[in-house]
Chains A and B, each alone.
Chain A
Amino acid sequence: MTLPDPSFLVIQCLNGLTYAMFLFLIASGLSLIFGVLGILNFAHGSLYMLGAYFTHQLVSLFVDTPGQFWWAVIFGSLAVAAIGVIIERFFLRPLYVREELNQLLFTYALVLIFSDFARIIWGTDQFSVSRPAILKGAVDILGQYFPKYNIVIILLGPCIAFLFWFILLHTRWGRMIRAAALDREMLGSLGVNVSRLFTVVFFVGAWMAGLGGALVSPVSAIVPGMDVEVIVNAFIVVVIGGLGSFWGTFLGALIVGQVYALGILVFPRLSLVFIYVLMALVLIIRPWGLLGRPLQKR
């Protein structure tokens, strides 16, 4: 086969990068919650879906407000975070002492509840949100068009990654979060309010899922079922990168995004297969993920 013009390769890499940034936002929240709370949150994708639906709702509500899209993103994602706090405080807390299976079943039940909830409120139509006015157009990259909005997303991803890395490594909260991931009993006996810490972590994780959903709304269709699709991809990302590892999630998202985008360019019909093959390979060679640590017995 003939190789395509290099400019298209660049565009396709950028497409992959955009996708990777969304995956990163969602998967890092998933990974954070697992790392600290030890809960594999199936409902993370549902929070992402709610973020998208809330944004759609708020955009139509703020129709005459300047900067409506950004307000919708902020309030939409914060509303999702608030729902996350309610879930953690009232439902997950009693489950920490139970078996992991109970927790899994509970978060899975949440997936079903939220998906029906969305169907009841927004029906089954598909929605989309317009890009904010200043980012409507496209920029010229090597003679090809690339949407401005996607560029903002690509820049936003590393900013958020850096911010989190900084918080985790250089602040008191970050140290407590890392300590909680290692040994929560010890942290509690040192006088740290662990349950408050858990709520904060769940808030942040849910907020990232909501933010992912809010930001994806102008570039993707908002449909019932987007929750399950994204959670599968987020799991692939954390499996490849290493569950609970922050930079692993970042790497995993980059890899999945590029494999997906370039896969379409080379073998259009097999693009989805590549990702699963990659995941299977990682599971065979490094079951704990590229940057993860092997699980230790606690």
Chain B
Amino acid sequence: MRRLLIFSVLICLAVVAFSLPADAAKKPIVIGFPMWLSGGGGLFGQPSAKGAEMFVQEVNERGGVLGRPVKLLVRDCKGTPEEATRVSKELILKDNVDFLVGGLSASQGLAISEVAKTEKVLYIAPISKSTRMCEPPRLHPYVFRAAANTNTEGRSAAVFMAKHPWKRIATIGPDYEYGQMCTQAFVDWIKKLKPEVEIVHQGWPKLGETDYTPYIAPCLAAKPDACFISLWGGHFVTFAKQAKPYGFFEKVKVVAAGEGGSPETAMALKDDLPLGITTNAYDVFYYPDTPEHKDYCERLKKFTGEKYAPSWAITGYVATQWLIEGIEKAGSTDTMKVIKALEGLTIQTPIGKQTMRAKDHQATRGQVWGTTAKVPEYPFPIMRPVEYIPAEDLMD
């Protein structure tokens, strides 16, 4: 009896063992995509998820990767790191995802990175910018960043500011990971470039503030020549609308990091978007004029059914592209092999070549910077002139 039992268990195990590889060949590769889809972050989180969905659809249409289809599970992780932790844990434990891509705010990136470390799941951050995520002691083998980081962002703003004769400089940034790191990078870099600069005021509204008016008068009171603002997405929209009647944009030159120049922001603000401010974006559908980028924008327009290709889609698109090309190069979905494959990998993205640095798992991602202007072609302001500021020179 006992022997029979052992025998049948062995048979069962053998059956399972033999059926696994056959099954695995068709089993989809599952990517968990926690993203901030609601509230002030939704303006950017939703297109980002769309970009990832489009890339995954394109991969599946050409037969998947390693002969396996790819499945993307998009989940709303709201605005907090706690929620990001909960959602990504659920994706790993309940939905058995193989990889994680996602998270929006800098603190969400750090939170998901912690989950990736403890659960030993490869994680690619498409948007989260805090430099600390890819620096010791936070850096670990399982985390990669496709996004630019706060150093690149703050420092490119500083490079721009240093070209002008502005001495008294103020900063306004959301009081959390991203705002603090970005502002710090800006302040350190501009002091290095131009030691005579004086930081006359620093405003710290909380993340998700709905009323910025109490922060506007104190900033003006310090009489700055220029102000560095790192409010992003819907937060910048709210700020711009509220600051306008105070004459803020007439009295102070504004350099705004946090994607004030993305068409999403411009469409949301229309005539309320202050003109002549310097700002940035991850991608804009009207630049650069390369065939790959044009083709990408056309595909995206078709996929989303929107009149203008959303700019933030690039974040989800490229982050998923890193993962898939990593898997392809590794020839396996084994986490450690994909990690090895990603280190030092160079890929051709719709906005040009990018390299994943082996030393800190940070992609060489720059940003598009420009000055807002009204043009006859579009019913909302765009950035003109506009240029891509590469990240290589600004990275440590």
- A positions within 8 Å CB-CB of B: 4-5, 8-9, 11-12, 15-16, 18-19, 119, 123-126, 128, 131, 136-138, 144-150, 219-221, 223-226, 229, 260-261, 264-265, 268-269, 271-272
Q: How far is the CA of A5 from the CA of B247 in the complex (A)?
A: 17
Interface residues in B231-269 (C-beta closer than 8 Å to A): 234, 237-238, 241-242, 245-247
Asked whether, in the complex, the Cβ of A268 is within 8 Å of the Cβ of B215, the reply is: yes
Asked whether, in the complex, the Cβ of B245 is within 8 Å of the Cβ of A4, the reply is: no
Q: Contacts A19-B211, A225-B39; is A265 near B217 (CB within 8 Å)?
A: yes
Q: Is B360 an interface residue (CB 8 A)?
A: no
Q: Is B38 an interface residue (CB 8 A)?
A: yes
Asked whether, in the complex, the Cβ of A138 is within 8 Å of the Cβ of B245, the reply is: yes
- Across-interface contacts of A219 in B (CB, < 8 A): 211, 213, 242
Q: Contacts A126-B40, A126-B238, A225-B39; is A220 near B210 (CB within 8 Å)?
A: yes
Q: How far is the CA of A119 from the CA of B76 in the complex (A)?
A: 13
Selected from B210, B217, B220, the residue in CB contact (under 8 A) with A226 is B210
Asked whether, in the complex, the Cβ of A5 is within 8 Å of the Cβ of B218, the reply is: no
Q: Show 14 A/B contacts (Cβ-Cβ < 8 Å), sorted by A.
A: A4-B218, A11-B220, A12-B221, A19-B211, A119-B38, A124-B37, A126-B43, A126-B234, A220-B210, A220-B238, A224-B38, A260-B214, A268-B202, A271-B214
- Across-interface contacts of A12 in B (CB, < 8 A): 214, 217-218, 221
- Across-interface contacts of A136 in B (CB, < 8 A): 245
Q: Is B204 an interface residue (CB 8 A)?
A: yes
* Least distance between A22 CB and chain B CB atoms (Å): 9
Q: Is B141 an interface residue (CB 8 A)?
A: no
Q: Interface size of B by Cβ–Cβ distance < 8 Å? A: 33
Asked whether, in the complex, the Cβ of A4 is within 8 Å of the Cβ of B221, the reply is: yes
- Across-interface contacts of B216 in A (CB, < 8 A): 15
Q: How far is the CA of A226 from the CA of B42 in the complex (A)?
A: 15
Asked whether, in the complex, the Cβ of A126 is within 8 Å of the Cβ of B39, the reply is: yes
Asked whether, in the complex, the Cβ of B238 is within 8 Å of the Cβ of A138, the reply is: no
Most chain A CB within 10 A, of B206, B211, B234, B247, is at: B211
Nearest A residue to B37 by beta-carbon distance?
A: A124
Asked whether, in the complex, the Cβ of A223 is within 8 Å of the Cβ of B215, the reply is: no
Asked whether, in the complex, the Cβ of A223 is within 8 Å of the Cβ of B40, the reply is: yes
Q: Is B203 an interface residue (CB 8 A)?
A: yes
Nearest B residue to A12 by beta-carbon distance?
A: B217
Selected from A16, A19, A146, A224, the residue in CB contact (under 8 A) with B39 is A224
Asked whether, in the complex, the Cβ of B221 is within 8 Å of the Cβ of A221, the reply is: no
Given A126-B238, A223-B208, 16 extra CB contacts under 8 A: A8-B218, A15-B216, A123-B38, A125-B43, A126-B43, A131-B245, A137-B245, A138-B245, A145-B247, A148-B245, A150-B213, A225-B208, A226-B210, A229-B210, A260-B214, A264-B214
Asked whether, in the complex, the Cβ of B246 is within 8 Å of the Cβ of A147, the reply is: yes
Nearest B residue to A148 by beta-carbon distance?
A: B245
Nearest A residue to B218 by beta-carbon distance?
A: A265
Q: Contacts A137-B245, A219-B211, A220-B211; is A15 near B217 (CB within 8 Å)?
A: yes
- Across-interface contacts of B42 in A (CB, < 8 A): 124-126
Q: How far is the CA of A12 from the CA of B203 in the complex (A)?
A: 14
Asked whether, in the complex, the Cβ of A124 is within 8 Å of the Cβ of B38, the reply is: yes
- 1/0 per residue, CB under 8 A from A, across B162-186: the answer is 0000000000000100000000000
Q: Is B222 an interface residue (CB 8 A)?
A: yes
Q: How far is the CA of A66 from the CA of B130 in the complex (A)?
A: 48
Q: How far is the CA of A16 from the CA of B216 in the complex (A)?
A: 12
Asked whether, in the complex, the Cβ of B220 is within 8 Å of the Cβ of A8, the reply is: yes
Q: How far is the CA of A126 from the CA of B232 in the complex (A)?
A: 13
Q: How far is the CA of A266 from the CA of B218 in the complex (A)?
A: 9
Selected from B43, B218, B242, B245, the residue in CB contact (under 8 A) with A145 is B245
Q: How far is the CA of A11 from the CA of B216 in the complex (A)?
A: 10
Asked whether, in the complex, the Cβ of B214 is within 8 Å of the Cβ of A128, the reply is: no
Selected from A4, A18, A144, the residue in CB contact (under 8 A) with B213 is A18
Q: Contacts A138-B247, A146-B246; is A128 near B217 (CB within 8 Å)?
A: no
Asked whether, in the complex, the Cβ of A269 is within 8 Å of the Cβ of B214, the reply is: no
Q: How far is the CA of A211 from the CA of B223 in the complex (A)?
A: 36
* Least distance between A173 CB and chain B CB atoms (Å): 34
- Across-interface contacts of B175 in A (CB, < 8 A): 269
Q: Contacts A268-B204, A272-B206; is A221 near B238 (CB within 8 Å)?
A: yes
* Least distance between A260 CB and chain B CB atoms (Å): 6
Most chain A CB within 10 A, of B37, B39, B206, B213, is at: B213
Asked whether, in the complex, the Cβ of B39 is within 8 Å of the Cβ of A8, the reply is: no
- Across-interface contacts of A8 in B (CB, < 8 A): 217-218, 220-221
- Across-interface contacts of A271 in B (CB, < 8 A): 214
Most chain B CB within 10 A, of A12, A137, A150, is at: A12
Asked whether, in the complex, the Cβ of B214 is within 8 Å of the Cβ of A19, the reply is: yes
Asked whether, in the complex, the Cβ of B38 is within 8 Å of the Cβ of A144, the reply is: no
Most chain B CB within 10 A, of A12, A219, A221, A268, is at: A221
* Least distance between A2 CB and chain B CB atoms (Å): 9
* Least distance between B80 CB and chain A CB atoms (Å): 11
Most chain B CB within 10 A, of A15, A229, A261, A272, is at: A15
Q: How far is the CA of A124 from the CA of B46 in the complex (A)?
A: 10
Asked whether, in the complex, the Cβ of A147 is within 8 Å of the Cβ of B245, the reply is: yes
* Least distance between A5 CB and chain B CB atoms (Å): 6
- Across-interface contacts of A138 in B (CB, < 8 A): 245-247
Nearest A residue to B246 by beta-carbon distance?
A: A145
Q: How far is the CA of A149 from the CA of B244 in the complex (A)?
A: 13
Selected from B40, B215, B218, B246, the residue in CB contact (under 8 A) with A221 is B40
Interface residues in B32-68 (C-beta closer than 8 Å to A): 37-40, 42-43
Interface residues in B278-319 (C-beta closer than 8 Å to A): none
Q: How far is the CA of A272 from the CA of B220 in the complex (A)?
A: 21
- Across-interface contacts of B38 in A (CB, < 8 A): 119, 123-124, 224
